[in-house]
Structure 1
Amino acid sequence: MNIKILDTTLRDGEQTPGVSLTSLEKLRIARKLDEINVDYIEAGSAITSEGERDSIKEITSQDLNAEILSFARPLTVDIDYCIDCDVDGVNLVVPTSDLHIHDKLNTTSDKLIDLSNNAVDYCKDHGLIVELSAEDASRSDVDFLKSVFFNAIDHGADRVCVCDTVGILTPDTSFELFSKLNDLTVPISVHCHNDFGLAVANTLAALKGGASEIHTTINGIGERAGNTSFEECVVSINRLLPEFSTDIKINEIYNISKLVARATGVYIQPNKAIVGENAFAHESGIHADGIIKNSATYEAMTPELVGRQRKFILGKHMGTHGLNSKLQEWGLNVDEDQLNQICHDVKELADKGKTVTDVDLQVIADNVLQINHEDRIKLDELTIVSGNKVMPTASVKIIFDDEEILNAGVGLGPVDAAINSLKSLDIFKDIDLIEYHVDSITGGTDAFIDVIIKLQKGGKVVSARGTEADIINASVKAYIAGVNRLLRD
């Protein structure tokens, strides 16, 4: 069975505390969702604001292949705003639990059904596709839930949705609930929240129970603990449920995950399935050895399936096989004694509690192999001007291949200004700073600061470190060290 996907990143996902997307950001995400073959895109909630309506109108004007919907309550004013935005359909949300009907709406079950039916009629009279979503369905009486659905279908609803609004289903109860709805005559969708960390499992169980559509958000963002994770569900269907399929371009999953993370500012935890930075990273010597011989030994899927690349991590758990693979990537061929010595030195550094970066490994390998690299870029001078009434400004002088280069930059803070003074130079073109991490090595205001960064150029990613009492100098030195490494490669 082909499973349809309604993605609500732009509506339920944007309800993540602290997230507010611009119209341009919403448009970029919508285009990417359409590009990877998402079936239905909930572009927002038209009743929310004038800016929200402008964003929805911008998306509906793009002639995308996906069906574009807006969230709406069963109220004429909500539906009129949806019509004004020229959406294809509405996600008409109607509460069905006693708690919501009596305590939130202060109405009765019969009046709720009338309200729902009238809203469906109004939508259909205006040419809208209707997906009627039962809010708090997982805490509703099943017979009443079915009554609401049957009434909506009789009045022309095209699809219905069961919402686990507070995430209280389990895989067993999810399967049981959806199995009781198999006599409905329209497609049934599932909308789960992740309050107990079960949203993906409950969604997959709903498919087993008879659902044919899933509601998701990219990276699982959303209110409280978030919604069903798009990437986890899609890949699980692809790899674990052979009786189901989707039309999603799976190799684009990582790209859209990063796009949404950048736009929302919501950090992706390193150990998150599929898209986390550690999802295809291996440090353990036993694991690395197995992966090199046959990736299926410790990977349930290849990283390339979802647009990723495998990584071998430096640390005390590392073995010689993974280390040798890393060295060979750099064109360094070592004998057994040299490999063992490099491995020993890396573990010795890691035992001191240090994060072992690519630059650390390069220095260790160079010492063992007695290789001396001449850095092409050297920091000569760095001056910072900053204050509560002054835009942070940095001027820098570097030596590049024996040529002096002066430049300046501004930023949100002194570190940002210092890095910007370098990034605007042609030498640093196409190099992206993708990770920045700061640790205080010692206590006190005169503490030594350890700055670790990751830089990317094309498909190449390197780490670098700078350690100083001055965080600005440490940051700039780490940045230059990483760029020197990229230039050598």
Structure 2
Amino acid sequence: MNIKILDTTLRDGEQTPGVSLTSLEKLRIATKLDEIGVNFIEAGSAITSEGERQSIKDITQQNFNAEILSFSRPLEMDIDYCLECDVDAVNLVVPTSDLHIFDKLKITKEELLAMSNSAVDYCKDHGLTVELSAEDASRTSIDFLKTVYVNAIEHGADRVCLCDTVGILTPESSFEMFKQLKEDIDVPISCHCHNDFGLAVANTFAALKGGASEFHSTINGIGERAGNTSFEECVVGIYKLFPQFSTDIKIHEIYTISKLVARLTGVYIQPNKAIVGENAFAHESGIHSDGIIKNAATYESITPELVGRKRRFVIGKHMGTHGLDVRLKELGVNVSKNQLKKICDNIKVLADKGKTVTDVDLQAIADNVLEINHKDRIKLNEVTIVSGNKVMPTASVKLTVDGEEVLNAGVGIGPVDAAINAVNSLDIFDDIDFIEYHVDAITGGTDALIDVIIKLQKGDKIISARGTEPDIINASVKAYISGVNRLLSN
């Protein structure tokens, strides 16, 4: 069975506390959603504001393959705003639990049914496709839920959706509810799960097994409270774990859209998140690294390339010589067995002190064992910063590049950004991409030592580097230059 996907990143996902997307950002996400094969895109809630309506209009004007929806309450005013935005369909959300009907709306069940039916009639009279979503359906009696759905279908609803609004379903109860609904409902049934107990993905899988043919999700599982069903986990889970189901998604594009949404929303991905987290395909353990090198299937259920990722071996005290040798070769360093053991022993000493071992640390250790002296092409002589409440942060840097002294300046949104921009304005840095930045205070007090770890990319080469100073700006610039020197030396 082909499972359809309604993506609600632009509506439910944007309800994540602190997230507010511009029209251009919404359009970029919607464009990528359409490109990767999402069937339905909930572009927003037209009733919200004039800016929200403009964002939805910008999306509906693109002639995407995906059906474009707006969220709507069962009110003519809401539906009129949806029509103004020229959407294909509405996600018509009707509260169905006693709690919502009696305490929130303060109406009777009969009045709720009349309101729902009238709204469906109004939508269909104006040419809209209707997906009727029962809000708080998981706390609604199954008999009344069927009544709401059957009424809506009789009035022309095209699809219905069970919303686990507060995330209280379990896989068992989810399966049972959808199984019972499927007995009496003859239109596609969808599920909309929330992750309050960390069960949204499991409940979605159970819903599909129970008879659902569509699910709602958000990229990276963002959303209110603990978030929504994770798009990438469901899509890859269906691909790998449920051969009876399929989707239209281009799976190899999943990591790309995950990073896009993380960057535009500012909701970054926890390292251990399935599929798209930084550590999802990272291996440090010597036993695991050895197995992976011999046959990736030993410790990976899917290949990283499937979702647009790359495998990496993490340098640390658990690393064995096999994984270490692979990483050294990636950095262009070839060693003998005895040299490899010495390097491995030195890494363990450093890691036992609680240090994160970066690629630059690794290369410094390897150079010492191999008795290689690298001459850095770039040296930092001086950094000067001007910053304040009414002053755009400005930095000047004095560098020695290939033996010649260079003075340059830059501005940024903060002093660190300004300093890095000042360095970056030189041609030698043109092909270097700054892809990760992490800061730790490694001692206490206002004079704490700051440990800055960064990740840089040049072409296919990715390298990590460190700078440790009492001053975060100096630490950041030194880490950056250290990493660039290593990239340029390979």
* TM-score w.r.t. length of structure 2: 0.98
* Per-residue CA distance 1:379-428 (angstroms, 9 max, x = gap): 12211112233222101121221233221111222212111112233222
* Per-residue CA distance 1:309-355 (angstroms, 9 max, x = gap): 00000001110010011111122221111010000000000000000
Partner residue in 2 for 1:31: 31
- Cα deviation for residue 366 of structure 1 reads 0.4
Partner residue in 1 for 2:269: 268
* Per-residue CA distance 1:234-293 (angstroms, 9 max, x = gap): 000000000000010000000000000000000100000000000000000000000000
State how 1:27-426 maps to structure 2 within 5 Å: 27-182=27-182, 183-426=184-427
Output the CA distance in 2 between the equivalents of 1:197 and 1:430.
41
Output the CA distance in 2 between the equivalents of 1:228 and 1:459.
33
Partner residue in 1 for 2:456: 455
Q: Is residue 6 of structure 2 the alignment partner of residue 6 of structure 1?
A: yes
Letter in 2 for 1:68: I
- Cα deviation for residue 438 of structure 1 reads 1.6
- Cα deviation for residue 59 of structure 1 reads 0.3
| Greater mean deviation of Cα atoms: 274-283 or 333-342 | 333-342
Output the CA distance in 2 between the equivalents of 1:288 and 1:295.
9
Output the CA distance in 2 between the equivalents of 1:122 and 1:75.
9
Structure 2 alignment gaps of length 5 or more: none
- Cα deviation for residue 178 of structure 1 reads 0.2
Output the CA distance in 2 between the equivalents of 1:55 and 1:287.
47
* Per-residue CA distance 1:137-180 (angstroms, 9 max, x = gap): 00001111000000100010000000000000000000000000
| 3-state secondary structure, aligned to 1:79 | helix
Structure 1 alignment gaps of length 5 or more: none
Output the CA distance in 1 between the equivalents of 2:157 and 2:130.
5
| Greater mean deviation of Cα atoms: 319-328 or 407-416 | 407-416
Output the CA distance in 2 between the equivalents of 1:30 and 1:470.
41
Output the CA distance in 2 between the equivalents of 1:155 and 1:346.
69
Letter in 2 for 1:15: Q
Output the CA distance in 1 between the equivalents of 2:51 and 2:300.
45
- Cα deviation for residue 40 of structure 1 reads 0.2
Letter in 2 for 1:78: D
Letter in 1 for 2:132: L
| Greater mean deviation of Cα atoms: 459-468 or 186-195 | 459-468
| 3-state secondary structure, aligned to 1:453 | strand
| 3-state secondary structure, aligned to 1:180 | helix
Letter in 2 for 1:113: L
Letter in 1 for 2:301: A
Letter in 1 for 2:75: L
- Cα deviation for residue 448 of structure 1 reads 2.0
* Per-residue CA distance 1:420-442 (angstroms, 9 max, x = gap): 11223322224222221222222
Output the CA distance in 2 between the equivalents of 1:387 and 1:70.
43
**Which runs of at least 4 in structure 1 moved beyond 3 Å after TM superposition?**
none
Identical pairs, percent: 79
* Per-residue CA distance 1:431-475 (angstroms, 9 max, x = gap): 222221222222232222211111123332211111112211111
Partner residue in 1 for 2:436: 435
RMSD, matched Cα: 0.9
Output the CA distance in 1 between the equivalents of 2:489 and 2:135.
58
Output the CA distance in 1 between the equivalents of 2:161 and 2:460.
41
| Greater mean deviation of Cα atoms: 479-488 or 232-241 | 479-488
| Greater mean deviation of Cα atoms: 63-72 or 324-333 | 324-333
Output the CA distance in 2 between the equivalents of 1:459 and 1:106.
61
Output the CA distance in 1 between the equivalents of 2:479 and 2:15.
37
Output the CA distance in 1 between the equivalents of 2:433 and 2:138.
45
What is the number of residues matched between the two proteins? 489
Output the CA distance in 2 between the equivalents of 1:320 and 1:226.
40
Output the CA distance in 2 between the equivalents of 1:87 and 1:383.
53
| 3-state secondary structure, aligned to 1:485 | helix
| 3-state secondary structure, aligned to 2:181 | coil
Output the CA distance in 2 between the equivalents of 1:196 and 1:318.
34
